[in-house]
Amino acid sequence: MRENEYEYICGIVYEHSRINLGPDKRELVSARLGKRLRATKLATVGEYCQFLKTQHNGEELAHLIDAISTNHTFFFREMAHFDFLCTTVLPEMKARAKAERWSQFNVWSAACSSGEEPYSIAMLLDEQLATSWPWHIACTDISNRILDKARGGIYREETVGKLTPDRIHRYFQRGYGPQAGNYRIKSSLQSGLTFQHLNLLEGEPPFRELFHVIFCRNVMIYFDRKTQEELVAKLARLLIPGGYLFVGHSESLTGVPHSLKSVRPAIYRRPLACGSS
């Protein structure tokens, strides 16, 4: 891949997704472009760049961003976040719910990838809230391909097998015959989640409600400081006063101007309104 070709790919990806691909990502980009070259039956990166320039409907650009986006995840990744949600956030929000007249507990999985994160949250909410307080998880991602996988809720045995036997029995249907080795999320759990495509940096997210909790983990590591500041401000506006933002453990808001209060590593909170306890 020539330097001008790499610069073009980096520029178009940044323009449309704000993913900042530096010189250290050249090998990753080259590997992922290989998939798109095979899919488009083009021989060189130069031909692919020309192809992108002629795609006025942006279909191939969407495929490119899909390919570049990293989607490494697993159930209950960064377990400390789920422990904090269970032991601190839920008891606190339940105590406020009646006075605040909250009809349901709202969570946003802002970069839900293939679904392991929001389904993990859903398992925990089902266990902790049962029927005592309705809940909903809004799940969004920039990748249509990975959203389709999340909606399908089908995972391989080696992935599901890391969960406890009780959770596997309670929340998954085991596949047989042609589906042997696959496990599908049960509809009773899946009904509490909605999935939609969303670029976090394009306009305001289409939500009417505010969220008690937002998970936006392992996303900002791909953004430059200006973009991080813009995104955090947007997320903060969508939290209820006292709501919590979870970012990845490899991420930090140090050096990023924001209105949130640091609670513990990778957990931030929107300040409570004046006069609130």
Residue type, 97: A
Looking at the structure, do residues 49 and 146 belong to the same domain, yes or no?
A: no
pLDDT at res. 71: 64
Residue span of the structural domain in which 264 resides? 79-269
pLDDT at res. 88: 97
pLDDT at res. 43: 92
Looking at residue 47, which CATH number applies to its domain? 1.10.155.10
Please list, in sequence order, all residues whose beta carbon lies within 8 angstroms of the beta carbon of residue 109, skipping any fewer than 6 positions away.
Answer: 117, 118, 121, 137, 138, 139, 140, 215
Overall number of domains in the chain: 2
Looking at the structure, do residues 40 and 119 belong to the same domain, yes or no?
A: no
274 domain residue, yes or no: no
Distances (CA, A) of 241 to 39, 210, 251: 47, 9, 23
Looking at the structure, do residues 130 and 261 belong to the same domain, yes or no?
A: yes
The mean of the pLDDT values for the chain is 91
Give the strand pairing for 211-215 and 239-246: parallel
Looking at the structure, do residues 136 and 243 belong to the same domain, yes or no?
A: yes
192 in Cβ contact with 125 (< 8 Å): yes
pLDDT at res. 59: 80
pLDDT at res. 1: 85
Tokens describing residue 34: 């290989």
pLDDT at res. 24: 81
276 domain residue, yes or no: no
Looking at the structure, do residues 87 and 201 belong to the same domain, yes or no?
A: yes
Looking at the structure, do residues 52 and 93 belong to the same domain, yes or no?
A: no
pLDDT at res. 277: 45
pLDDT at res. 69: 74
The kind and range of the H/E element at 23 are none
216 domain residue, yes or no: yes
Looking at the structure, do residues 231 and 177 belong to the same domain, yes or no?
A: yes
Whole-angstrom Cα distance, residue 103 to residue 14? 39
Give backbone dihedrals phi and psi of 141, rounded to 5 degrees, phi first: -160, 155
Tokens describing residue 246: 């979870």
pLDDT at res. 274: 59
Looking at residue 88, which CATH number applies to its domain? 3.40.50.150
Residue numbers annotated as active site: 32, 141
pLDDT at res. 22: 80
Looking at the structure, do residues 58 and 98 belong to the same domain, yes or no?
A: no
- Domain end among 68, 94, 113: 68
73 domain residue, yes or no: no
Looking at the structure, do residues 157 and 238 belong to the same domain, yes or no?
A: yes
Looking at the structure, do residues 138 and 253 belong to the same domain, yes or no?
A: yes
Looking at the structure, do residues 214 and 85 belong to the same domain, yes or no?
A: yes
| Residue 38 DSSP class | H
Per-residue pLDDT of the chain (277 residues; tens, 9 = 90+): 889 999 999 999 888 888 888 888 888 899 889 989 999 999 999 999 999 988 765 788 888 888 887 667 899 999 999 999 999 999 999 999 989 999 999 999 999 999 999 999 999 999 999 889 999 999 999 888 889 999 999 999 999 999 999 999 999 999 999 999 999 999 999 999 999 999 998 888 899 899 999 999 988 888 888 999 999 999 999 999 999 999 998 888 888 889 999 999 899 999 987 545 4
Looking at the structure, do residues 224 and 99 belong to the same domain, yes or no?
A: yes
109 domain residue, yes or no: yes
